Amino acid sequence: MKTKMNIKNITAIAALVIMSFVFLNMSFAANTIETETPTEETTTTTTEEKNETEEVENTEEATTEENAQDENTEEVQQTEESTEPEQQETQIQNGKYFIADNIKLKVVPLITATSTQEIQKNQEVNVEKVINGWAYIEEATTGTKGWIRTEKLKTEEQKQADDQAADEAAKAAAEEADKNAPAIKKVYVQPEKVNLRKENSTESETIGKLPQNTEVEVISEDSKWSKCRVNGMIGFISTQYLGNKKVETTSRASKAREVTADTQLHDVAASGTGAEIAAFARSLVGKSYVSGGVGPNAFDCSGLTMYVFGHFGISLPHYSESQRNYGRAVDRSELAPGDLVCYRGHVAIYIGGGQVVHAGSSKTGVCITTVDRAKSGAYICSRRLV
């Protein structure tokens, strides 16, 4: 009986302990829930504050961007204001202009409008009115009128600058072409010194001075001027100062081939007599005079003598002053048919009877005249080549 009571007591105590344990757990759980709830509220509050902070930051960034945009806008406005005077300087107004490029006129100031007559580049026009980037123009020569865009016009100063640039480009291209152009022949300077000129005119700038026997390449030529390439330069030389062979000159060192009254410069024997030379010269009377001409239908003075003596196997340079060094000297009183008569800047062939055949001028052509009248007061000497 006593044992049963003990068991009941133990059971009751155990039940009490379990109930206490359960109660404690429930209380702990309730406290935990109450503790966690404020944490969630705190988290919510922190999130809201963070969002507000981000909004403030975004607002500040937006304000900064707006300020930057305002500054950029002010800079653009200032730039536009600073460029306004330049735009005004180039603004098309009524007056004389030139067409910048080939363009067709419009009947009304619209891109889609019907096109009429084409106006050529650099044509002069008169602007009568300007509306919204369009100009109403009148073509200077024909009076044709119509509309074109203002950017298709240029001032006279702009046209001059464009023309100058085009000329310089064309000259540069021509010079480059000349440097690579094949030579049509090689010749030699006949006088002691000759000018290489920039253009084919005696008034043109001298770009070099070439000594006698300088070899030059001829690119092109006419009766008066030869376009030559020499020492990397391109220029013009009077055709009459160029010859196919070098001029034989006296050597001071060896005294070789010295030209005197007793020696003859050329080893080539003449194949004809003086009378035959005179007769052949007479046969050319009536031919034309052309500066630089060497025959057979037109001559200048040294070209004629070179041609006549060349017919008989005697080679002369195409230069009157150089021809004085050929053959042997003869006194004027001893002149015979076939002799070379030398003047200052002129040569002729003696045919007897006090007369010579020479290429006088474009008016006289090849003609017969007296020794004195061939070039009055300019007689220098006479040479006999046969």
CA dist., res. 317 & res. 315, Å (int): 7
CA-to-CA distance for 329 and 73, rounded, in angstroms?
Answer: 96
Q: Active-site positions?
A: 301, 346, 358
* Closest to 246 measured CA to CA, from 195, 162, 316, 310: 316
E-strand ranges in 150-248 read 153-154, 185-189, 193-197, 206-211, 215-221, 225-230, 233-238, 242-243
The residues, ordered by sequence, that sit 6+ positions from 290 with a Cβ below 8 Å of its Cβ are 223, 298, 299, 300, 362
Residue 282's Cβ-count burial label (10 Å; 0-12, 13-18, 19+) is: middle
Report the alpha-carbon distance of residue 55 to residue 67 in Å, rounded: 18
